[in-house]
């Protein structure tokens, strides 16, 4: 006479994989009984392991989401720079600036040097090079990825107003230089 397992396998109601899993689970239960561990203790241990695995999975998912968010920000910055960069080809005026405690030099057109100094243009890092973009675009980039903006001069009007000895004297409208 064949066992119930053999009959179920023959009838096609079970497959070999599930039969092996059932045998394995039965052996594990017998082993735990011999060691004196109850089924409830084993179930509690399994629940704890599942909770720990769920926590590890949650942390891993959070890390992946953060990495995806960072990649999206970099892609947005790259798109902003490529769309709004100011052409500086054939530039012969050097512009020097510091980036991560190193002095860097790019060549720009002569009017661009003055615009960079006044804060109308900015220098941003793109991949391994530098690009010049308008200040408005640089502020958008700085909101997304602050470390991408290398040079952006801004004027602090409050400091200038405090140091100005002629602040109390208005400038006449009809003054001609």
Which pLDDT score is estimated for 127? Answer: 83
pTM of the predicted structure, to 2 decimals:
0.58
Comparing C-alpha atoms, which of 133, 121, 122 is closest to residue 85?
A: 133
Which pLDDT score is estimated for 59? Answer: 96
When pLDDT is cut at 50, 70 and 90, the band that residue 177 belongs to is low
Q: What is the pLDDT of residues 116-161, one digit of tens each?
A: 988 899 999 988 889 999 999 999 999 999 898 999 888 765 555 5
Distant-in-sequence, close-in-space partners of 40: CB < 8 Å, separation ≥ 6: none
Average pLDDT, the chain: 84
Which pLDDT score is estimated for 162? Answer: 67
Q: What is the pLDDT of residues 36-66, one digit of tens each?
A: 766 677 778 889 999 999 999 999 999 999 9
CB 133 within 8 A of CB 142: no
Percent of the residues in the chain that have a pLDDT greater than 90, as a whole number:
33
Residue 115 CA to chain centroid, in angstroms? 31
Average pLDDT over residues 60-78: 93
Residue 29, number of CB atoms within 10 A of its CB: 13
Which pLDDT score is estimated for 35? Answer: 75
């Amino acid at each position: 006479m064949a066992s119930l397992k053999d009959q179920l396998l023959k009838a096609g109601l079970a497959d070999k994989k599930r039969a092996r899993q059932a045998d394995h689970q039965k052996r594990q239960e017998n082993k735990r009984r011999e060691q004196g561990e109850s089924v409830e203790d084993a179930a509690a241990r399994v629940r704890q392991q599942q909770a720990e695995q769920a926590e590890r999975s949650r942390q891993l998912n959070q890390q992946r989401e953060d990495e995806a968010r960072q990649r999206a920000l970099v892609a947005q910055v790259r798109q902003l720079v490529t769309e709004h960069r100011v052409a500086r080809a054939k530039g012969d005026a050097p512009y020097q600036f510091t980036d991560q405690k190193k002095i860097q030099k790019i060549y720009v057109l002569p009017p661009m040097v003055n615009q960079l100094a006044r804060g109308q243009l900015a220098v941003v890092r793109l991949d391994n090079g530098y690009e010049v973009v308008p200040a408005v675009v640089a502020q958008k980039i700085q909101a997304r990825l602050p470390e991408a903006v290398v040079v952006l001069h801004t004027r602090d009007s409050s400091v200038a107003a405090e140091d100005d000895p002629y602040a109390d004297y208005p400038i006449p409208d009809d003054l001609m230089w």
